[in-house]
Structure 1
Amino acid sequence: MAERIVKEAQVSLDFSGQRFDQIATELFSDYSRSRIQSWIKEGVLLVDGKQTKPKEKLFGGETITLDVELEEQAAHDAQEIPLDIVYEDEDILIINKPAGLVVHPAAGHHDGTLLNAILHHAPETALVPRAGIVHRLDKETTGLMVVAKTLQAQTDLVAQLQDRSMGREYEAIAIGAMTGGGVVDEPIGRHPHNRQKMAVEPVHGKEAITHYRLIKRYNNHTHIRLKLETGRTHQIRVHMAHIQYPLVGDPQYAGRLKMPKGCSPELQDALRDFRRQALHAKKLELSHPATGEWMEWEVELPDDMLALIEVLEADLKNGGQNQYM
């Protein structure tokens, strides 16, 4: 499967003295700068029919032409895996991801991933890098994700992530009774001693900002709403553990399971049986990449988190003690 793109644009005098790659990025703004530069090097993006170096300056009046055939980006298999589709049109796909579904193929997960499922559901995404996946959720995190079905949509959505205009809100159940909300502004990088984990890294970490507020405080847990400004790997999980309120069930950042003193047998069972981080991508809002329309979606918490909240509510009514053993 392949798609041919043929475009032409006249360089106006306003661009006089600017570099070819900069002008082409402006004139063909549906595509990323890195893609424009690769097309220039491949010789499919020309000036007056001639191959031109990216840094060469233009003076206005030239004609830039693009003639390229998009090939499939990856040799991943399309697999028929059920998807919970919240919204779909020609440009984007909004998915409510279940727990246990890996987003990208990787070591140990060569197939059976969300990417394989997307390729089956929307074969046109084979022409888009990573099958149009522009952001990810951890394997055991549930909730909303947006997928780009075209190259133009991908470029636009990536730009929204980078300029922080895309809104992403989560709900989680944290260990510990919080007294109020706040902001965690701490850089995150690879853990210095465990490459499978991330950590707050003041020197080598990248900027990471998480806002959180209380939905309800229980005896020994707190139901919270979180909003991301940045999108670092494991960001919410790392930040909440850093401020001593790790997420229930988090196998990497919550440490050994401790039972609250005096909690009911039902709550003990619920905590023992909750084997994933209690984290759900609840709300997603963005500017539609083709129409510019502001759109938003919100999905209910998954059954396992709702069941845990029900047990926490019962424990609160029964007056469990605010202390961990």
Structure 2
Amino acid sequence: MQKWQYHCTVTAAQSGHRLKQYLRRDLLIPKTICYYLRIRRIIRINGRYQSVYTPVKTGDDVLLTFYAADFSTPRPDYHGGDASLVHVLYENDDLLVVDKPAGIKTHPNRPGEQGTLMSHVTAYLQSPAYVVHRIDRATSGALIVAKNPVVLPILNRLISSKRITRQYRAWVHGHLPARGTINLPIGRDPLDKRKRQVGGPDALTAVTHYHVLQETPTKSLLAIQLETGRTHQIRVQFSYLGHPVVGDPLYDPQAVAYSRLFLHSAKMRLLLPFSFTPVTITAPLPESFLRLTD
């Protein structure tokens, strides 16, 4: 049976927590997986089995063993990939961050679909690859991929709690104040299922922060930080304000004049599962961003 083992060192901030709290709150291990760790009696503190009610101390070595059978996540089955198309920005034993090209889907939408980023990453790894999050097909830039089901829920929790942050670059039409925050709820577009709209049905809060990096006579290059992560959030909000992302096939009326959507996931602050070591990863701007002129 396939298994994964991790040695974790208790920090001063975690000292005094009961082992149960350490696993759930400090390491972000899901409740169901903690249950299997407990009933299998496979948690070791300094080499010895301990009850989940045992307090941990600074410097304790906690050994955790996970078995594939304990995870409900289906084993991914991606096909038709090309390893040469994968540009790795960062990699360790648990995950990798890749630079997704514009125009490639993150993952298949139907059985047997090939040529997606996850297909290419699977070919690169020669082993299963797990989707952590996605970015739109037309968007390029940094994307996290998990190598095993153990770190997948931890990474998901780090993203949902905003402890993993991402910064985008976008060229938009027109000029805006030097910096600002956009707070406009986003819902469905009742006339086009591909699109979203401000204030549409089932709208959810959407908050975006930006500042201007560069201007041309008709366009602005922005650095954008998302506080929330709604579908098409950047694209919908800036279009609503009259500054659509350049080349956006859904929201820019002038899109046919451009080669791509000028939106790029440029920078990521990643926390590594179990150690929670921060790592900053940069995805270089594509040449097309540098060549864009009026």
What TM-score does the superposition give when structure 1 sets the normalisation length?
0.69
Classify 1:30/1:149 alpha carbon distance in 2 versus 1 (closer, same or farther; 3 Å): farther
Q: What is the distance in 2 between the residues matched to 1:160 and 1:289?
A: 9
Give 1:31 shift.
Answer: 3.8
Q: Could you tell me which residue of structure 2 aligns to residue 264 of structure 1?
A: none
Select which of 220, 244, 252 maps to 2:250: 252
8 A Cα contact 1:24 1:36, kept in partner: no
Classify 1:290/1:78 alpha carbon distance in 2 versus 1 (closer, same or farther; 3 Å): farther
Query: Which structure has the greater CA radius of gyration?
Result: 1
Q: What is the distance in 1 between the residues matched to 2:167 and 2:143?
A: 11
Q: What is the distance in 2 between the residues matched to 1:85 and 1:159?
A: 23
Classify 1:6/1:212 alpha carbon distance in 2 versus 1 (closer, same or farther; 3 Å): closer
For residues 17-62 of structure 1, give each alpha carbon's deviation from its aligned partner in whole angstroms, at most 9, with x where no partner exists.
xxxxx989739956434x549xx7xxx778599xxxxxxxxx979x
Any unmatched runs of 5+ in structure 2? 7-16, 42-51, 55-64
Q: Could you tell me which residue of structure 2 aligns to residue 276 of structure 1?
A: 260
Q: What is the distance in 2 between the residues matched to 1:222 and 1:144?
A: 22
Q: Could you tell me which residue of structure 2 aligns to residue 302 of structure 1?
A: 286
1:90 matches 2:90 = no
Q: Could you tell me which residue of structure 2 aligns to residue 265 of structure 1?
A: none
Identity %: 27
Give 1:66 shift.
Answer: 7.9
For residues 178-197 of structure 1, give each alpha carbon's deviation from its aligned partner in whole angstroms, at most 9, with x where no partner exists.
23321111222221221111
Q: Could you tell me which residue of structure 1 aligns to residue 102 of structure 2?
A: 99
Correspondences of 1:88-167 after superposition (within 5 Å): 88-107=91-110, 110-124=113-127, 126=128, 131-167=129-165
Correspondences of 1:1-325 after superposition (within 5 Å): 3-4=2-3, 26=24, 31-33=29-31, 36=33, 69=69, 73-77=75-79, 79-81=81-83, 82-107=85-110, 110-124=113-127, 126=128, 131-201=129-199, 204-255=202-253, 257=254, 273-308=257-292, 311-312=293-294
8 A Cα contact 1:210 1:236, kept in partner: yes
8 A Cα contact 2:88 2:99, kept in partner: yes
Classify 1:68/1:206 alpha carbon distance in 2 versus 1 (closer, same or farther; 3 Å): same
Number of equivalenced pairs: 260
Classify 1:24/1:212 alpha carbon distance in 2 versus 1 (closer, same or farther; 3 Å): closer
Q: What is the distance in 2 between the residues matched to 1:109 and 1:222?
A: 40
For residues 53-81 of structure 1, give each alpha carbon's deviation from its aligned partner in whole angstroms, at most 9, with x where no partner exists.
xxxxxx979xxx98653686233326224
Give 1:152 shift.
Answer: 2.8
Q: What is the distance in 2 between the residues matched to 1:60 and 1:84?
A: 45
Q: What is the distance in 2 between the residues matched to 1:115 and 1:304?
A: 24
For residues 264-316 of structure 1, give each alpha carbon's deviation from its aligned partner in whole angstroms, at most 9, with x where no partner exists.
xxxxxxx85423211111111121113221110123210111111xx34xxxx
Which stretch of structure 1 is more off in the superposition, 246-255 or 288-297?
A: 288-297
Q: What is the distance in 2 between the residues matched to 1:158 and 1:168?
A: 14
SS at match of 1:174: strand
8 A Cα contact 1:186 1:202, kept in partner: no
User: AA paired with 2:30?
Assistant: S
For residues 107-162 of structure 1, give each alpha carbon's deviation from its aligned partner in whole angstroms, at most 9, with x where no partner exists.
498110011112122244x2xxxx32211111111111111222232222111111
What TM-score does the superposition give when structure 2 sets the normalisation length?
0.76
8 A Cα contact 1:6 1:68, kept in partner: no
Structure 1 vs Structure 2 CA RMSD: 3.3
